[in-house]
């Protein structure tokens, strides 16, 4: 039997991940009144499923009532939730669209009959999706000290690694180091986004351990041409993914110049990093190296990812290849500026890029 007396939780959770981390091991300690303060319906559905599961495991009869903020719902809720006797069956009230639902109780527009306080029997639990970024103190005071809540907000950079690890534990999955860094770099830093994307990986691929290729296949796939993705594939020397991504290129819509600009930016970083490795690796600390590479403002996870990537690429690209890439960039820049991005220019670009993946096709150059 679920009773309020058994509830041993704080009134505030950091976010959905923190809530699951603290309550899932003991489903019968769920808060009596919980506000899910989030504009993401996914987060509310996770909590709703958790409550429903707790009731299904209870041996006592129960009833679940759902309100969706239709006319008359608030009055019906007040009558049903506030007038139950202590011997009534367990009851869970699920309230959606909480902002609209409780509007008559709050602020300048509140009705004359709005309560100053609202208490419910111990046989009642209330779960509210408050679809906003904040929860009014006035509403908290009406329900009193039995209220718990969490807000869905962006996770600060120094907390993202910890939140990710907790989310992965909840979903029971594991990402290798490279995949983890990519996940933290590209996935929206919110509890709901972390959980949703990890569950998506598990659902689509039917396994529990994932690498970077898995993330790109499931989470970061797009029917649109991505200049940043194709730059990554080029420096990874992954011709299969590079060619598949380039097949999405549409003349007149997509731009080679954007890709070439991103290619040059990363090529500059790689050239500088190779010089640092060769001459200053033991002289410059990480901060000084970051300043030279132009990545000082990056988050710790992104910075670490960039250093690992450059370290790997520095041995994959020799000085001659880097020089040839710069020459190619100058050549393409001139072609595009004098002849625009016509079909023959795009075809020439792809053929030249293909040569960098298959160096045996290139004319051998000596110096």
Query: In the structure, what pLDDT confidence band is assigned to residue 24 with cuts at 50, 70 and 90?
Result: low
Using alpha carbons, select from 34, 32, 118 the residue that is nearest to residue 83.
Answer: 118
Percent of the chain surpassing pLDDT 70:
91
How, if at all, do strands 33-37 and 90-95 pair?
Answer: unpaired
The reported pLDDT for the residue numbered 7 is 38
Evaluate if residue 3 carries a pLDDT over 50: no
Tokens coding 294:
């132009």
* Cβ contact 74:104 at 8 Å: yes
Please tell me the distance from the alpha carbon of residue 304 to that of residue 302, in angstroms, as a whole number.
5
Name the range with the highest mean pLDDT among 113-117, 193-197, 224-228: 193-197
**Residue 317: C-alpha distances to residues 7, 74, 105, 236 (Å):** 60, 66, 66, 10
Task: Catalogue the E-assigned strands of 38-85.
Answer: 62-67
Evaluate if residue 158 carries a pLDDT over 80: yes
Query: In the structure, what pLDDT confidence band is assigned to residue 123 with cuts at 50, 70 and 90?
Result: confident
Evaluate if residue 161 carries a pLDDT over 80: yes
Encode pLDDT of 220-269 as tens digits.
Answer: 877 788 888 899 989 999 888 888 888 888 888 888 889 899 999 999 99
The reported pLDDT for the residue numbered 88 is 62
Using alpha carbons, select from 135, 157, 180 the residue that is nearest to residue 298.
Answer: 157
**Residue 44: C-alpha distances to residues 41, 90, 151, 226, 327 (Å):** 5, 21, 11, 32, 54
Task: Please say whether the dihedral angle defined by the alpha carbons of residues 171, 173, 177 and 182, taken in this order, is positive or negative.
Answer: negative
The reported pLDDT for the residue numbered 228 is 87
Evaluate if residue 10 carries a pLDDT over 80: no
Task: Catalogue the E-assigned strands of 192-309.
Answer: 209-210
Please tell me the distance from the alpha carbon of residue 47 to that of residue 91, in angstroms, as a whole number.
16
- Is-above-0.75 flag for pTM? no
* CATH numbers and ranges of domains, the chain: 4-151 (3.40.50), 158-218 (1.10.8.60), 227-361 (1.20.272)
Q: For all residues of the chain together, what is the average pLDDT?
A: 86
Which of residues 187 and 87 earns the better pLDDT score? Answer: 187
Mean pLDDT throughout 339-353? Answer: 79
Tokens coding 211:
């690498």
């Amino acid at each position: 039997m679920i009773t309020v007396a058994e509830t041993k939780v704080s009134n505030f959770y950091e976010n959905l991940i923190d809530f699951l981390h603290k309550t899932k091991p003991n489903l019968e300690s769920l808060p009596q009144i919980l506000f899910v303060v989030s504009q993401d319906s996914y987060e509310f559905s996770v909590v709703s499923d958790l409550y429903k599961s707790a009731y299904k495991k209870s041996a006592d009869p129960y009833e679940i009532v759902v309100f969706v903020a239709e006319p008359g719902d608030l009055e019906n809720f007040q009558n049903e939730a506030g007038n139950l006797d202590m011997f009534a069956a367990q009851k869970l009230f699920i309230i959606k669209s909480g902002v609209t639902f409780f509007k008559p109780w709050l602020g300048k527009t509140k009705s004359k009959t709005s309560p100053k306080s609202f208490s419910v029997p111990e046989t009642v639990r209330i779960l509210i999706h408050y679809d906003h970024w904040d929860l009014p103190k006035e509403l908290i005071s009406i329900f009193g000290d039995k209220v718990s809540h969490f807000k869905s907000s962006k996770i600060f950079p120094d907390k993202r690694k910890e939140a990710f690890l907790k989310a992965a534990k909840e979903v029971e999955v594991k990402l290798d180091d490279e995949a983890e860094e990519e996940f933290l770099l590209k996935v929206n830093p919110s509890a709901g986004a972390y959980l949703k994307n990890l569950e998506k990986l598990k659902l689509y691929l039917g396994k529990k351990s994932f690498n970077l290729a898995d993330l790109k296949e499931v989470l970061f796939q797009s029917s649109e041409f991505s200049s940043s993705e194709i730059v990554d594939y080029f420096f990874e020397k992954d011709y299969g993914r590079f060619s598949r991504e380039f097949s999405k290129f549409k003349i007149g819509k997509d731009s080679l110049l954007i890709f070439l600009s991103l290619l040059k930016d990363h090529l500059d970083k790689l050239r500088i990093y190779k010089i640092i490795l060769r001459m200053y690796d033991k002289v410059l600390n990480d901060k000084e190296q970051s300043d030279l590479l132009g990545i000082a403002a990056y988050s710790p996870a992104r910075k670490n990812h960039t250093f690992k990537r450059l370290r790997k690429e520095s041995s994959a690209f020799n000085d001659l290849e880097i020089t040839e890439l710069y020459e190619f960039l100058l050549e393409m820049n001139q072609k595009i500026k004098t002849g625009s991005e016509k079909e023959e220019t795009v075809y020439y670009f792809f053929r030249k890029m293909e040569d960098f993946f298959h160096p045996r096709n290139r004319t051998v150059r000596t110096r």
